[in-house]
């Protein structure tokens, strides 16, 4: 039986945080909880970057240290090993965004392959991650999704994108490292879904190596999973999914309104939660065919998955089911799951500070837009500080 209070232990949740780390986290989440702080600070950061102000030391000491593991893979490893001692694994994510040239896309593909090779020799890192628009221009993905006619030059560009994509997936297969492929905006996602399905068909014959991402704020994702599951059963390949709620809700709704089509997004947070839990449970119910990386900061969904695994007599360490949270957030879920010997894992971004600032800005924006997320982080951090302060008073007495 799973303890209903599994996620309440702040001592274990923040076991790797020093008092200084705890104070920094409290400060950052307090700021993110202030109305308008994130949009104002984002505008100021972009302005500072544009006029080349030396803001990197400030970024490194605050938001970078909270949400990133370091500037390089080797830089992350001391932290990766510390987390593994607490039975929490790591996904390293080279979080450089906004590249547009063919040379940069080739470099990104080669970097992903190097990370895959690196991960294959490190027991603490069972997954790698890739993003479709990290391997090719958004506009091409969008045109292919819309079934627009490509020019000869665009067709050649699309072929190069597919070649990069397959090259990265081939490396994941060759080095036996699971590969999580991010989902993005709905108006480019069909092209990604179709290409990822082709990669699953080729590389997931025996087990899930290639994982697509299901953004469950999209109301069509359960029907999508059921349809691809049927094809996989007929054709004899395994499915891998990272299940998340989604990161582009405001942008999706705004575009649907502007262009006059029905929004692909669930009507509210409650409907998204219901959809997420339905997709998650469907995957667990079909675990013989579907491996799942449950990407959630939601305690109810996490507990629901644990209960269902228990009902199905699945070991919490079953390699087909993982529980993932972003580094710097929801330690009360990750570290308490690790203590129960579940497959707990942190997605840890890294990269040169200046290059990962766009990622960090997006992370702050997403954090502030998720109802209750920042408040819950704050409450847990304050509880742990209160616990430590109480211990300090007792030692002094």
- Six token digits for residue 105: 């896309």
pTM (2 decimals)?
Answer: 0.92
Segment 306-328 shows an average pLDDT of: 96
pLDDT band for position 120 (50/70/90)? very high
Q: Share the mean pLDDT of the chain.
A: 91
- Six token digits for residue 341: 């010997």
Question: Which pLDDT tens digit goes with each residue over 243-254?
Answer: 999 988 888 999
Identify the bridge partners of residue 380 per DSSP, sorted by sequence position: none
Phi, psi for residue 374 in degrees, rounded to 5:
-65, -40
- Six token digits for residue 279: 């997709």
Question: Which pLDDT tens digit goes with each residue over 8-25?
Answer: 999 999 999 999 999 999
CA dist., res. 374 & res. 161, Å (int): 37
Q: Which residues have a Cβ under 8 Å from the Cβ of 250 and sit 6 or more positions away?
A: 369
CA dist., res. 349 & res. 72, Å (int): 10
- Six token digits for residue 344: 């707990």
Segment 373-389 shows an average pLDDT of: 90
């Amino acid at each position: 039986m799973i303890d209903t209070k599994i996620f309440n232990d702040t001592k274990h949740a923040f076991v790797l945080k020093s008092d200084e780390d705890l104070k920094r986290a409290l400060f950052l989440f307090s700021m993110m909880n202030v109305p308008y702080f994130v949009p104002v600070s984002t505008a100021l950061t972009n302005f500072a970057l544009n006029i080349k102000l030396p803001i990197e030391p400030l970024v490194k000491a605050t938001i970078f240290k909270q949400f990133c593991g370091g500037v390089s893979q080797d830089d992350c490893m001391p932290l990766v090993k510390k987390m593994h001692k607490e039975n929490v694994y790591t996904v390293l994510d080279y979080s450089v965004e906004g590249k547009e040239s063919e040379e940069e896309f080739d470099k990104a593909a080669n970097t992903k392959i190097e990370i895959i090779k690196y991960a294959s020799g490190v027991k603490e890192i069972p997954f790698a991650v890739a993003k479709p628009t990290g391997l090719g221009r958004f506009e091409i993905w969008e045109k292919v999704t819309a079934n627009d006619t490509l020019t000869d030059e665009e067709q050649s560009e699309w072929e190069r994108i597919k070649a990069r994509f397959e090259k990265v997936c081939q490396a994941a297969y060759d080095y036996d490292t699971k590969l999580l492929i991010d989902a993005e905006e709905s108006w480019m996602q069909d092209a990604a879904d179709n290409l990822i399905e082709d990669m699953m068909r080729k590389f997931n014959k025996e087990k899930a190596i290639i994982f697509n991402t299901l953004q469950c704020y999209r109301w069509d994702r359960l029907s999508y999973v059921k349809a691809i599951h049927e094809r996989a059963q007929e054709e004899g390949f395994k499915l891998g999914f990272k299940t998340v709620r989604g990161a582009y809700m405001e942008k999706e709704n705004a575009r649907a309104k502007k262009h006059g089509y029905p929004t692909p997004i669930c009507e509210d947070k409650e409907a998204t939660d219901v959809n997420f839990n339905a997709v998650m449970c469907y995957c667990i119910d079909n675990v013989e065919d579907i491996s799942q990386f449950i990407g959630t900061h939601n305690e109810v969904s996490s507990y629901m998955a644990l209960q269902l695994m228990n009902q199905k007599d699945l070991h919490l360490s079953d390699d087909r089911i993982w529980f993932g949270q972003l580094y710097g957030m929801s330690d009360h879920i990750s570290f308490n799951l690790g203590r129960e010997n579940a497959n707990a894992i942190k997605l840890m971004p890294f990269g040169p500070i200046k290059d990962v600032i766009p990622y960090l800005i997006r992370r702050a924006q997403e954090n502030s837009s998720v109802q209750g997320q920042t408040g819950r982080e704050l409450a847990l951090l304050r509880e742990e500080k209160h616990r430590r302060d109480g211990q300090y008073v007792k030692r002094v007495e």
